Amino acid sequence: MTDAVLTEFDEGVAIVTINRPQTRNAVDKAVAEGIAAAMDEFERRDDLAVAVLTGAGGTFSSGMDLKAFVRGERPEVPGRGFGGLVAKRPDKPLIAAVEGYALAGGCELALAADLIVASRSAKFGLPEVKRGLVAGAGGLFRLPRRVPRAIAMEIVLTGEFIDAERAYAVGLVNRLAEPGSALADSLVLARTIAANGPLAVRVSKSVIEQSADWPDAESFERQGPLVSGVFSSADAREGALAFAEKRAPVWRGE
């Protein structure tokens, strides 16, 4: 693990922090490798149910470190892509806690998350076109899946920033937080998810992601193999028993 990315674990939640505030958390090779290592550990550990990705010093990420890029660095990890994340997202839920700017590659890291909690003072943007570039780390296809197509076109083609209030209004952001509270509010959301059956959460996320292009006539057939194991799982029995006994369930993830 590198000091460019800090990882801590608390109550079933992995907190992954991009730690280059002097560069507004610009993503270089060390950041990409640090995020990838954190995601590997998050996926591997059964005691971790949700991860939160954030940035140190009041900024989420300003995108790719252009100075490092000029030096010949590529802020990618084989198999995981830019930032060690965008090409291979975790199977478990990932929340982006956004303060300050989430721009270019930084915005694409946020888009790689399942949920976004943003400070009311945060700003999002894919300004690549202003430099004759394109948002090639997932922004061009993930943004239109999160917001109406016309809004995505406007954000991408103008390269202009949008503030958190508008991002929330168009559905990009799940929850707004007071400035400085995005991480704390993300942890509340993360622990709410972490309290649920881990197998059920993973399968639910998988069905939502895979079903985006399923024909209606095939949806139940395709869903069947994914969800059948949940209904026959030990966790399903434990959930029902805990409800009947009016106690908190003890999940096994199986």
- Residue in this structure with the two tokens 């059956």, named with its chain if needed: 197
For the stretch 86-92, contacts whose Cβ atoms lie closer than 8 Å and that sit 24 or more positions apart, written own/partner, are 86/112, 86/137, 86/138, 87/138, 88/39, 90/39, 90/42, 90/43, 90/51, 91/43, 91/202, 91/205, 91/206, 92/42, 92/43, 92/48, 92/49, 92/50, 92/51, 92/198, 92/201, 92/202, 92/205
Beta bridge partners of 61: 102
* Cα–Cα dist 5/36, whole Å: 10
CA–CA gap between residue 6 and residue 48 (Å, rounded): 16
Both structure tokens of 10: 């608390």
The structure tokens listed for 177 are 């937080």
**What are the CA-CA distances from residue 69 to residues 24, 65, 131, 197 (Å)?**
16, 6, 14, 42
Active site positions, annotated: 108, 128
Distance of alpha carbon 50 from alpha carbon 163, whole angstroms: 26
**C-alpha span between 142 and 137 (Å, rounded):** 9
How many other C-beta atoms can be found within 10 angstroms of the C-beta atom of residue 55? Answer: 30
